[in-house]
Amino acid sequence: MSLLYTIVKPELIFENIKKVELQNSVEEISYKGMIVTGHRQKDNTFIIERIITTKPEVYLDASIAPGSVINLYN
């Protein structure tokens, strides 16, 4: 364990810890025949973060847009 002697606020120093934890919780799943990445929630839903496909028309589908919440077991 080490001590930090600094005038910088602890929130600024340790803000990256939260970002690393969030990056580690990103999952990749197949949904509607394409690969999407996002975060699994406790209520069996999934928040889409990114769509991975080469088909441009897929990006126009609002049901799988980044930020959309999908039910995993329906």
Eight-state DSSP code of residue 53: -
Q: What is the pTM of this model?
A: 0.64
- Confidence band, pLDDT 50/70/90 cuts, at residue 74: low
Alpha carbon distance 5, 22 (integer Å): 27
Is position 9 within any domain? no
Q: Domain limits at 40?
A: 27-74
Q: Return the pLDDT at 68.
A: 93
Q: Does some domain include residue 43?
A: yes
Over residues 13-72, the pLDDT tens digits come to 777 766 655 556 789 999 988 899 998 888 989 999 999 999 999 989 998 999 999 998
- Total domain count, the chain: 1
Nearest residue to 67 via CA among 46, 43, 41: 46
8-state DSSP, 9: -
Query: Is 41 domain-assigned?
Result: yes
Is 32 within the bounds of a domain? yes
More confident residue, 3 or 39: 39
Q: In the chain, how many H helices and how many E strands?
A: 1, 4
